[in-house]
A and B are shown apart, each in its own frame.
Chain A
Amino acid sequence: MTAWFVASAIGVLTACGVWLCLRARSFDVVLGLTLLTYAVNVFIFAMGRLAFNMPPIVRPGVPATLAHYADPLPQALVLTAIVISFAMTALVLTLAMKAYHVNGSDACDPPPTDKGAGTGAAPP
């Protein structure tokens, strides 16, 4: 039951993220990536199973098993993932902005004209 809550949340976030990633404009793609990141973080976290009020902070006298603590490893992995995704978001954003101002459009794809032959689209 609770598992379904979490799982479905992951699913919805993924779906929304993917859909936004497939949009034509760079900013929308960034939003999509953000959602996708949430989904992935929760997914990683969920791989350690669910636990309530049992943070992985060792308390004396409590046996060190997963029966008494949440799984710390996935949490550590999520921390790493969060940081990296933050860095990447910042990068994509800046890139999107620069591309917008240099190419005069925030469309991800080149206009059909300079396809194929690929004449180096000089900045306007």
Chain B
Amino acid sequence: MTAQWLIVPILLPLLMAPLLLLCERWHPRWQAPLALLSTLAVAIVAAGLVRMADTGTVGVYLLGNWQPPFGIVLVLDRLSALLLLLTAVVALASQIAAAPLAARGPHFHAFFQVQLAGLNGAFLTGDLFNLFVFFEVLLIASYALLLHDAKGRALRAGLHYVVINLVGSALFLIAASLFYGVVGTLNFADLAARLPQLAPQDAGLAQAAALLLLVVFGIKAALLPLGFWLPGTYGAAPGPVAALFAIMTKVGLYGIIRTSTLLFGAGTTALTGWGADAVFALGVVTMGFGAISALSSQRMGKLIGSLVLVSSGTLIAASTLGEPALAGALYYMVHSTLAIALLFLLAHSIGLQRGATADRFGDGPAVTQPVLLGLLFVFAAAAVAGLPPLGGFIGKALMLSATINTSVMAWFWGAVIGSGVLGIMVLARAGSRVFWNVNGAATVAPPMAPSALGGIAVLVLASLLWTALAAAAARYTADTALQLVQPHLYVDAVMRTAPVPAPAKEH
């Protein structure tokens, strides 16, 4: 019954949320520790699931004990496991750092747990409509976190974010039901099994549904022209929340990778014949736009938001270039997520120490802890810009070496190196404007709270680990990519799973 573990990353936070609500009414002091405990537990379970997935077997969990494809299934493969763990780590850091924020309004911890449950559900579910439901779960929670204690600009950014995602949800519903209407099922594995034998006259509609799904994920992953909203929104979010949102774009990326390899991969590379070239081109455009937008942004928050675009574009572009590139992209994804989350947390702490100037560029007062914040910033900047020896560098190296001699080598290399150069320049500029270009004495702002330090420490540690264990990590992502380009592994695992012998039902 090891499969029972698959439900835990969803169920634990999902039950913890209402529990925390009750705590909030009767024992407010227990909230924070309980919530932290739950996240920690999820992280540990996620680590266990990674080990489980790394055996190469695809874990399947039949909710309600119904035979697939009729019930909803949870599926755990290397990709899901990796994302579960990444989510848990980022969430842990963000939650620790968010301690002061949480106190500034009702229900924060409950929302946070629901957010966690939603993310985990999205990564685990093997059912198209259930994926929609979990998208809604993680979205409603993300609205709540984004709007927690929101002021003017943040409110407006929140409105944009909500409306954009509501339209995205509408499109998702259309795509999902269209799949049902044409193919007659909602289970990923079943879809993957049925799509190849689809009657030719249905091919057009099926592809339409597929590409619409791609658009939906594109909105989440901030692929241009669907992602213009991102820098503004992330820039306006409170630091710890923005850090957690670093994982949000990965949900879209996950969707793209999952569907493109499982539903339309048919053993070949991702998205073959499903507009891979178009997606690649858009990815490159996204990188370029992100870099430019970063160059021209006036606030640290917006700058990092733009860098999210760059990272997202890189990942999407690379994920369309076949298995080895996908492997590199997955390695890069983990580190760039950690690094961006770290940068968001740092920007938050820096902003707190610059008084009214906050995270705006241009000369402001000196921060109260220039040495500590400065060194951390150099670390984070190097991590984001892909400077050695950190994981970002390894990831870029992996992606570049995987794309040698491909038809698009020139484009991809140009984009990666170009955006890298711009990234270095932008971050150097930002750093020197914040730490060096100071006028007036340091503010009297208090030094970093232990919570902020704790959150940052988690991410720094994770990033160092991911770098130090590069060999094992890259091996894992390589296996992940290999597993992804063999969709039959997934399909067989799901379709061959039988329900637990039914309990005696007296009539």
In the complex, are there CB atoms of A and B closer than 8 Å? Answer: yes
Contacts of A70 in B (CB 8 A): none
Query: CB-nearest residue of chain A relative to B143?
Result: A91
Contacts of A21 in B (CB 8 A): 163, 167
- Complex alpha-carbon distance, A26 and B167, angstroms: 14
- Complex alpha-carbon distance, A118 and B360, angstroms: 9
**Residues of B at under 8 Å CB distance from A?**
129, 133, 136, 140, 143, 147, 151-153, 155-156, 158-160, 162-163, 166-167, 169-170, 173-174, 176-178, 180-181, 186, 232, 235, 298-299, 302, 358, 360
The answer to whether B153 and A121 touch across the interface, beta carbons within 8 angstroms, is yes
Main secondary structure of the interface of A (DSSP, over half): helix
Tally the A-B contacts, defined by beta carbons under 8 Å.
Answer: 99
Contacts of A15 in B (CB 8 A): none
The answer to whether B298 and A120 touch across the interface, beta carbons within 8 angstroms, is no
Contacts of A81 in B (CB 8 A): 173
Contacts of B140 in A (CB 8 A): 87-88, 91
Q: What distance in Å separates the Cβ of B502 from its nearest Cβ neighbour in chain A?
A: 19
Query: CB-nearest residue of chain B relative to A84?
Result: B136
The answer to whether A26 and B174 touch across the interface, beta carbons within 8 angstroms, is no
Q: How many of chain A's residues touch chain B, expressed as a range? A: 35 or more
Q: What distance in Å separates the Cβ of B17 from its nearest Cβ neighbour in chain A?
A: 15
Interface check A108, CB cutoff 8 A: yes
**Residues of A at under 8 Å CB distance from B?**
21, 26, 29, 33, 36-37, 40, 43-44, 46-48, 73-74, 77, 80-81, 84, 87-88, 91-92, 95-96, 98-99, 102-103, 108-110, 114, 116-123
The answer to whether B153 and A77 touch across the interface, beta carbons within 8 angstroms, is no
User: Which of these, A46, A80, A99, A117, contacts B159 with CB under 8 Å?
Assistant: A99
Q: What distance in Å separates the Cβ of B132 from its nearest Cβ neighbour in chain A?
A: 8
Q: What distance in Å separates the Cβ of A20 from its nearest Cβ neighbour in chain B?
A: 12
The answer to whether B153 and A36 touch across the interface, beta carbons within 8 angstroms, is no
Query: CB-nearest residue of chain A relative to B70?
Result: A73
Q: Mind listing 5 A-B residue pairs with CB under 8 Å?
A: A37-B170, A43-B174, A47-B178, A84-B169, A123-B151
User: Which of these, B129, B152, B162, B163, contacts A120 with CB under 8 Å?
Assistant: B152
Q: What distance in Å separates the Cβ of A86 from its nearest Cβ neighbour in chain B?
A: 12
The answer to whether B174 and A33 touch across the interface, beta carbons within 8 angstroms, is no
Q: What distance in Å separates the Cβ of B181 from its nearest Cβ neighbour in chain A?
A: 3
